[in-house]
Chain A
Amino acid sequence: GQQVMQIPQYQHVQEGEDFTTYCNSSTTLSNIQWYKQRPGGHPVFLIQLVKSGEVKKQKRLTFQFGEAKKNSSLHITATQTTDVGTYFCAGRRRGGSNYKLTFGKGTLLTVNP
């Protein structure tokens, strides 16, 4: 079955440092979504990438989708304490169901003020 690997599992940074999490799928994806889950909260949709090589920015967050549509990354510039949480990528397999997302294991980001 489809597997989505995500690294690193944990990342601790000093406030103001940058942060990157990487996502890799065993199969080609039709699209990939990113979610953020604060401690004790629920996953919150951040963005969806659809096109090969796509890059999208949301303020300090930059999302990339690989040319082969099998990998993706999320980069946060100058982290803040409000960035704390677990970041999940979730992919939809190309040719697969529109209704099934496979989540990566997530990267837990902690920020030291």
Chain B
Amino acid sequence: AAGVIQSPRHLIKEKRETATLKCYPIPRHDTVYWYQQGPGQDPQFLISFYEKMQSDKGSIPDRFSAQQFSDYHSELNMSSLELGDSALYFCASSSSQWGSYEQYFGPGTRLTVT
């Protein structure tokens, strides 16, 4: 079965640079979520999109923005990167069709800021 695809899998950036993370949800899933996970930490919810509209917002810094496109893929744009942004970034998708909202996570993008 198709899974959530994230690219790139690894990314190394310097401080103050920008980064763009991409997420391709499972086909026919209408909701995308972004999470940030530090080492040994739980996933921190950043933002979600339902049918291409922002549906909820968590602890996403103002330096970050995200959107969902017409083909349902999503991008997380990160600017003025800081050392503390180094983390694993997960994208997850779900379908609202049956009301369960169980989330399927992608493999993650490991971002290292030097």
| Chain A residues in the interface with B (C-beta under 8 A) | 33, 35, 41-45, 48, 88, 92, 97-106
**Chain A CB within 10 A, most for which of B56, B100, B103, B107:** B103
Interface residue? B96 (CB, 8 A): yes
Tell me the bound Cα distance from A48 to B41 in angstroms: 22
Query: Are A99 and B107 CB-contacts (below 8 A) given A43-B43, A45-B102, A104-B42?
Result: no
Tell me the bound Cα distance from A79 to B108 in angstroms: 28
Contacting residues, chain A, for B43 (C-beta < 8 A): 43, 88, 103
Tell me the bound Cα distance from A80 to B96 in angstroms: 34
Contact between B105 and A99, CB atoms less than 8 A apart: no
List, sorted by A's number, 28 A–B pairs whose CB atoms are closer than 8 Å: A33-B102, A42-B90, A42-B105, A42-B106, A42-B107, A43-B90, A43-B103, A43-B105, A45-B105, A48-B102, A88-B42, A92-B101, A97-B55, A97-B56, A98-B55, A99-B31, A99-B50, A100-B45, A100-B48, A100-B58, A101-B45, A101-B103, A103-B42, A103-B43, A103-B44, A105-B41, A105-B42, A106-B42
Using a CB-CB cutoff of 8 Å, which residues 29-77 of chain B contact chain A?
A: 31, 33, 41-45, 48, 50, 55-56, 58
Contact between A99 and B55, CB atoms less than 8 A apart: yes
Q: Beyond A44-B105, A45-B103, list 12 extra A-B contacts (CB 8 Å).
A: A43-B92, A43-B103, A43-B105, A97-B56, A98-B55, A98-B101, A99-B33, A99-B56, A99-B101, A100-B45, A103-B42, A104-B42
Main secondary structure of the interface of A (DSSP, over half): loop
Q: How many A-B residue pairs have CB under 8 A?
A: 52
Contact between A48 and B100, CB atoms less than 8 A apart: yes
| Chain B residues in the interface with A (C-beta under 8 A) | 31, 33, 41-45, 48, 50, 55-56, 58, 90, 92, 96, 100-108
Contact between B104 and A102, CB atoms less than 8 A apart: no
Tell me the bound Cα distance from A26 to B101 in angstroms: 21
Tell me the bound Cα distance from A58 to B48 in angstroms: 29
Query: Are A100 and B105 CB-contacts (below 8 A) given A43-B90, A105-B42?
Result: no
Measured between C-beta atoms, what is the minimum distance from A1 to chain B in Å? Answer: 10
